Chain A
Amino acid sequence: MKISAIFLSLIITIAASAEEKPSCCAEKESSAEAAGSVYQLDAKWTSQQGKELSLSDFKGKPVLLTMGYASCQYACPRLVADLMAIERELSEEEREAVQIVFVSIDPERDTPGKMTAFFKERNVDQSRWTGLVGNDEAVLELSVAIGTRFRKLENNDFAHSNMITLLTSTGEIAHKQEGLGTAPAEMVAALRKAITDVRKSN
């Protein structure tokens, strides 16, 4: 009798614990990110300082993100100039509240060292700017998630979208600035809203 009671309670315990975390939902619960957040992409990246990062490590502050490559002689220097133009519109306090991320679409040639040199050449503030290098898979997934188009050409150059994407502090796309030399007013307004939203939520 005692044994059957123990057995019964064991079964109940197992059943109860199964109810707490049904196997059907374990996979869903493991993702704590918002449904539209690019921080759900779990690829590993390397920064210009050689540090291994996930995109979700940028969580907490809005991000200005662009994709290009260091040896680009065409639009990428101008994309960097456009990012700096956005920065110049911000107060020092606002600048501190934003992260700028340049993601390489050229994993074969862009090493962390090359990203550092690319940033130095353009006098960017590396305390706020991160250059990310990842593998082909990571680059493709991120480009698709944010709607950047790119293609490797026979001469090893790339054709790619000229686009700066604003991510909220939780990694959701808040605004896209397309083209080169675009007046930054709209992006700056969207960015200020993203910064205010973070302050409100804290």
Chain B
Amino acid sequence: MKFTVLLLFLLIGVAIAGEIPPDMARAEGGEYVPMFGEISKPRRVAPFLIDRRPVTNSEFLGFVREHPKWRRSNAGKLFVDQGYLSHWAGDLELGETAPPEAPVVRVSWFAARAYLKSQGKRLPREDEWEFAARADATRVDASKDPAYLKRILEWYGKPTPDRLPDVSTMEKDIRGVSGMHGLVWEWVEDFNNQMVTGASRSDSSLDRALFCAGGAVNATNVADYAAFMRYAFRSSLEGNYTTSNLGFRGARDAEPTKPTP
């Protein structure tokens, strides 16, 4: 009896202290130099929690059941374009091309955020996503390894299959997070922070007539071409866009770790 009470207190204590939910992994954060940003300035990423896998069709179906506003035939064009969930068989039916456990795609930034808000989560910020995406199965940061970069680029070169595989089939990284590379691209909260225009997306220069920049914003490490492609892809997006290879996952702020004495 005493033991049970003790265990209960212990469990409650862990929950209060900010236990990591089973579907999320913790990234400690730290400094990193983004591929595209202010020249040679590392950015500080605070600790955060990130979903272990992208949101699936069946999860998103559950959301639109509860929130009719976000069903395919109800969502307005400010929030979603015509391709929104167009691979589903119906408003509330997944069908052949949308396996329940495959990542949900053809969702807009607005729809992704609405889903995550209902789960008490948010989209990862670009810095967080890129920070987490540097990991492979054995290292927190594999981004300097040419073999790692080559593997990602190989995936970028492949066409997206009509029927996406289940999220469970994806390799896990050292944090237990899967599907960051190799399955679908993912929305980030601040995707609209790139000042590269459609006309000059292939280079790294800033068009000063179209954008005001109080400081230099440029590519810092063009060797990381995979990251460059992600930044370029994000810069081509609008909030209501949906595509057949763009999904999302959730994130949350995490409690900072107490400094060790």
Which residues on A are within 8 Å of B, measured CB to CB? 24-28, 31, 34-38, 40, 68, 72-76, 140, 143-145, 147-151, 153-155, 157-162, 178-180
User: How long is the Cα–Cα vector from A143 to B190 in the complex, in angstroms?
Assistant: 10
For the complex formed, measure the closest distance between the CB of B235 and the CB atoms of chain A, giving whole angstroms. Answer: 8
Q: CB distance A40 to B78 under 8 Å?
A: yes
User: How long is the Cα–Cα vector from A68 to B212 in the complex, in angstroms?
Assistant: 9
- Contact (A160, B212) CB under 8 Å given A35-B77, A40-B76, A151-B194: yes
On chain A, the residues within 8 Å of B68 by CB distance are 24-28
Closest to A30 in B: B69
User: How long is the Cα–Cα vector from A162 to B195 in the complex, in angstroms?
Assistant: 10
Closest to A158 in B: B214
Q: CB distance B74 to A28 under 8 Å?
A: yes
From B190, B194, B209, B238, contact of A140 by CB (8 A): B190
From B78, B211, B217, contact of A161 by CB (8 A): B211
For the complex formed, measure the closest distance between the CB of A85 and the CB atoms of chain B, giving whole angstroms. Answer: 16
Closest to A73 in B: B214
Closest to B75 in A: A35
From A72, A158, A161, contact of B210 by CB (8 A): A161
On chain A, the residues within 8 Å of B210 by CB distance are 161-162, 178-179
Q: CB distance A74 to B217 under 8 Å?
A: no
Q: CB distance A159 to B67 under 8 Å?
A: no
User: How long is the Cα–Cα vector from A157 to B209 in the complex, in angstroms?
Assistant: 17
Among B76, B79, B212, max chain A CB count under 10 A is at B212
Closest to B122 in A: A137
B239 within 8 A of A: yes
For the complex formed, measure the closest distance between the CB of A126 and the CB atoms of chain B, giving whole angstroms. Answer: 23
Nearest 6 interchain pairs by C-beta: A157-B214, A75-B212, A35-B76, A144-B239, A151-B193, A159-B213
Q: CB distance A180 to B209 under 8 Å?
A: yes
From B69, B74, B190, B211, contact of A159 by CB (8 A): B211
For the complex formed, measure the closest distance between the CB of A152 and the CB atoms of chain B, giving whole angstroms. Answer: 8
From A24, A27, A38, A162, contact of B212 by CB (8 A): A162
Q: CB distance B78 to A35 under 8 Å?
A: yes
Q: CB distance A74 to B213 under 8 Å?
A: yes
Can you list, as one digit per residue, whether each of B197-237 has a CB less than 8 Å from chain A (1) or not (0)?
00000000010011111110100000000000000000100
User: How long is the Cα–Cα vector from A37 to B76 in the complex, in angstroms?
Assistant: 9
B150 within 8 A of A: no
For the complex formed, measure the closest distance between the CB of A137 and the CB atoms of chain B, giving whole angstroms. Answer: 10
B189 within 8 A of A: yes
Sampled A-B contacts (23; CB under 8 Å): A24-B68, A27-B68, A28-B68, A31-B76, A36-B78, A37-B76, A40-B79, A72-B214, A140-B192, A145-B78, A145-B239, A147-B192, A150-B192, A150-B193, A153-B38, A153-B217, A154-B38, A157-B214, A159-B195, A159-B213, A160-B195, A160-B212, A161-B210
Where chain B touches its partner, the secondary structure class is loop
For the complex formed, measure the closest distance between the CB of A29 and the CB atoms of chain B, giving whole angstroms. Answer: 10
On chain A, the residues within 8 Å of B215 by CB distance are 153-155, 157, 159
On chain B, the residues within 8 Å of A34 by CB distance are 76
On chain A, the residues within 8 Å of B195 by CB distance are 149, 151, 159-161
Q: CB distance B189 to A140 under 8 Å?
A: yes
B41 within 8 A of A: yes
Q: CB distance B192 to A144 under 8 Å?
A: yes
Closest to A182 in B: B209
User: How long is the Cα–Cα vector from A122 to B210 in the complex, in angstroms?
Assistant: 22
On chain A, the residues within 8 Å of B206 by CB distance are 159
On chain B, the residues within 8 Å of A36 by CB distance are 76-78
Q: CB distance A37 to B211 under 8 Å?
A: no
Q: CB distance A151 to B217 under 8 Å?
A: yes
Closest to A173 in B: B78
16 additional contacts, CB 8 Å, given A147-B192, A154-B38, A157-B213?
A31-B69, A37-B76, A37-B78, A40-B78, A74-B213, A140-B190, A144-B238, A149-B193, A151-B193, A153-B217, A159-B206, A160-B195, A161-B210, A162-B211, A179-B209, A180-B209
On chain A, the residues within 8 Å of B209 by CB distance are 162, 179-180
Closest to A181 in B: B209
On chain A, the residues within 8 Å of B213 by CB distance are 74, 153, 157, 159
Can you list, as one digit per residue, whether each of B167-202 has a CB less than 8 Å from chain A (1) or not (0)?
000000000000000000000011011110000000
